[in-house]
Amino acid sequence: MNTKEFQNPKLIKKIVDRLKRNKRQISLMEVCGSHTMAIGKWGIRDLLPDNIKLISGPGCPVCVTPMSIIDASIDLKDVTIAIFGDLMRVPGEKGTLELARAKGLDVRIVYSPIDALKLAQEKETVFVGIGFETTIPGIAYTIREAYEKNIKNYSVLTSLKIVPPALELLASADDINLNGFILPGHVSVVTGANAYNFLPEKYNIGGIVTGFEPADILVSVDRLLQQVEKNEPKIENEYSRIVTPDGNKHAQKIMKEILEIDDGIWRGIGKIPKSELKIRKKYSDYDAAKKYNINIEYKEDKSGCQCGDVLKGNIIPPQCHLFEKVCTPSNPIGPCMVSSEGSCAAYYKYERKQ
Amino acid sequence: MCLAIPSKIVSINGKKGIVDMGGIKKEVGLDFIPEAKIGNWILLHTGFGLEIISEKDALETIEAINEAYHVMPDEY
């Protein structure tokens, strides 16, 4: 599919010209790592006038995965540990899985949860299943497959976060003044755009589901600006070429079948009520936390890393005293610098001022 | 991590499909998009098709945007 038209420089200029006519101070938050990357890659912040601020929120699943998950994985013995590649260099208190692998731990990177399930044919396998709504259905699928095919040596150590409760936390926070949300594109494929209707209804704040091309993002900023000017907060869907109002029912069904809502621990943020999906009792044989008696708890980051403040939009990455000085993509101190979709990594790659 | 890639379905066998990702063929799960057909563009994430991409909606979106910002069809 050709998306070049969403990159048309003449269109971009006309949108930016319109945005520059506005003098209102406005802060918008994106909550999707791919948007964070796209905003950096297309130089969107440099195109916008100073009165329009784009803030990155907790949009990177790797960044919010609790340290306990990393540490518990490192402690597992005599099993294959399957992970998504992004997790490899994320530090816990006990170091990284990359270092643990160098010391002999059997850590394998997989592209798909199905690949993790296949590894269980060879050896007892624990899949470190992390992700938002985009990734969760595929992980749930492997649990159902293992259950139905009676595959006993597969389990999942879960950190499965759902986005709307995090938005609720941010929308209700007294210390964060947001005028609107740029809502995630691919999470919304599963949830549907209607999943965010509570934002205008309960918190008087609007949002727009949007794509990843420069025109997508700039048009969304303009529409949110119009919402603020008219004081008509609502949920809009600019990404209707992929996102529907109600989302993917098949994906939602398997999530509900295998998983249930619980409180969740978000790295750098703490406990967010009803923000995590855990494996239902029926499938508890496939829950690595139960199988290996793992307790997931919140741990304060003692490295001085301020990822938590970055994730909540309290600071931008260059305001962290570690950024660029000691924390770089080749020597990441915190998770936001590890994942390519982390705010700090995106800032480092695209927005450092020389 | 939620990055999903548009891919075209080139064959289907039950709930599995083969997609062409820029010349690379890969088996994917179609469990969440059972209505998918050969030739459809789908959004692919971690080995699963998540949605069928609507080319018609894409064209309508860009047309509406161009109209809103007074961009003429020849301004490319």
On whether both A39 and A106 belong to a single domain, the answer is no
On whether both A135 and A283 belong to a single domain, the answer is yes
ipTM of the complex: 0.89
Kindly determine whether residue A11 and residue B4, on different chains, have CB atoms separated by under 8 Å: no
- Please name the residue that has the structure tokens 């008509």: A232
pLDDT exceeds 80 at position B72: no
Give the CATH number of the domain where residue A208 resides. Answer: 3.40.50.11750
On whether both A224 and A258 belong to a single domain, the answer is no
The secondary structure of residue A211, as a DSSP letter, is -
- Per the CB < 8 A criterion, the answer to whether A291 and A285 are in contact is yes
pLDDT at B58: 78
On whether both A85 and A219 belong to a single domain, the answer is no
Query: Using 50, 70 and 90 to split pLDDT, how confident is the model at B66?
Result: confident
Residue numbers in A near B29 (CB within 8 A)? 114, 138, 141
Residue numbers in A near B61 (CB within 8 A)? 238, 240-241
CA distance A13 to A179: 24
How many other β-carbons are positioned within 10 Å of the β-carbon of residue B28?
24
The secondary structure of residue B1, as a DSSP letter, is -
CA distance B58 to B71: 17
Residue numbers in A near B54 (CB within 8 A)? 240-242
pLDDT exceeds 60 at position A209: yes
**For the residues A224-231, what does the mean pLDDT come to?**
96
What distances in angstroms separate CA A3 from CA A61, A106, B11, one per listed residue? Answer: 26, 41, 24
Encode pLDDT of B1-24 as tens digits: 666 778 889 999 999 999 988 788
Query: Using 50, 70 and 90 to split pLDDT, how confident is the model at A1?
Result: low
pLDDT at A4: 81
Using DSSP bridges, classify how beta strands B24-29 and A80-83 pair: parallel, antiparallel or unpaired.
Answer: unpaired
Kindly determine whether residue A254 and residue B31, on different chains, have CB atoms separated by under 8 Å: yes
Kindly determine whether residue B69 and residue A18, on different chains, have CB atoms separated by under 8 Å: yes
Nearest CA in chain B to A251: B32
Residues 6+ apart with CB under 8 A from A135: A61, A129, A160, B1, B2, B45, B46
pLDDT at A297: 87
pLDDT mean across residues, chain A? 94
Kindly determine whether residue B3 and residue A341, on different chains, have CB atoms separated by under 8 Å: yes
Identify the weakest region by mean pLDDT among A61-75, A156-170, A267-281, A328-342.
A328-342
**Alpha carbon B18 to chain centroid distance?**
14
Q: With 0-12 CB in 10 A as exposed, 13-18 as middle and 19+ as buried, what is B62?
A: buried
Encode pLDDT of A9-55 as tens digits: 999 999 999 999 989 999 999 999 899 999 999 999 999 999 999 99
Encode pLDDT of B29-63 as tens digits: 999 999 999 999 999 999 999 999 888 887 888 88
- Per the CB < 8 A criterion, the answer to whether A182 and A33 are in contact is no
- Looking at CATH, the fold of the domain delimited by B5-75 is given as SH3 type barrels. (2.30.30)
Helix (H) or strand (E) holding A10: helix A9-20
**For the residues A90-119, what does the mean pLDDT come to?**
96
Encode pLDDT of A259-288 as tens digits: 999 999 999 889 999 999 999 999 999 999
On whether both A125 and A273 belong to a single domain, the answer is yes
In-domain check, residue A194: no
Rg (CA), chain B: 15
Residue numbers in A near B39 (CB within 8 A)? none
CA distance A146 to A150: 6
pLDDT at B76: 53
- Please name the residue that has the structure tokens 């260059």: A318
| A238 → closest Cβ in B53, B54, B61 | B61
On whether both A67 and A158 belong to a single domain, the answer is yes
In chain A, which among 148-187 make CB contacts under 8 A with chain B? Answer: 184, 186-187
**For the residues A228-239, what does the mean pLDDT come to?**
96
How many other β-carbons are positioned within 10 Å of the β-carbon of residue A49?
12
Which residue out of B8, B21, B43, B46 would a mutagenesis test of the A interface target, given it has the greatest number of A Cβ atoms within 10 Å?
Answer: B46
- Per the CB < 8 A criterion, the answer to whether A242 and B43 are in contact is yes
Nearest CA in chain B to A114: B47
Helix (H) or strand (E) holding A232: none
3 state SS of A348: helix
In-domain check, residue A297: no
pLDDT exceeds 90 at position A255: yes
Assigned token pair, A312: 């909540």
- Per the CB < 8 A criterion, the answer to whether A227 and A234 are in contact is yes
pLDDT at A271: 92
Q: Report the first-to-last Cα separation within chain A, whole angstroms.
A: 36
pLDDT exceeds 90 at position A2: no
On whether both A123 and A146 belong to a single domain, the answer is yes
**Domain tally, chain A:** 3
On whether both A320 and A287 belong to a single domain, the answer is no
B29 to chain A nearest CA, in Å?
Answer: 9
pLDDT at A341: 83
In-domain check, residue A301: no
Helix (H) or strand (E) holding A108: strand A107-109
Cα atoms in the Cβ-side hemisphere of radius 13 Å centred on A34: 20
On whether both A75 and A159 belong to a single domain, the answer is yes
Domain span including residue A115: 62-163+247-291
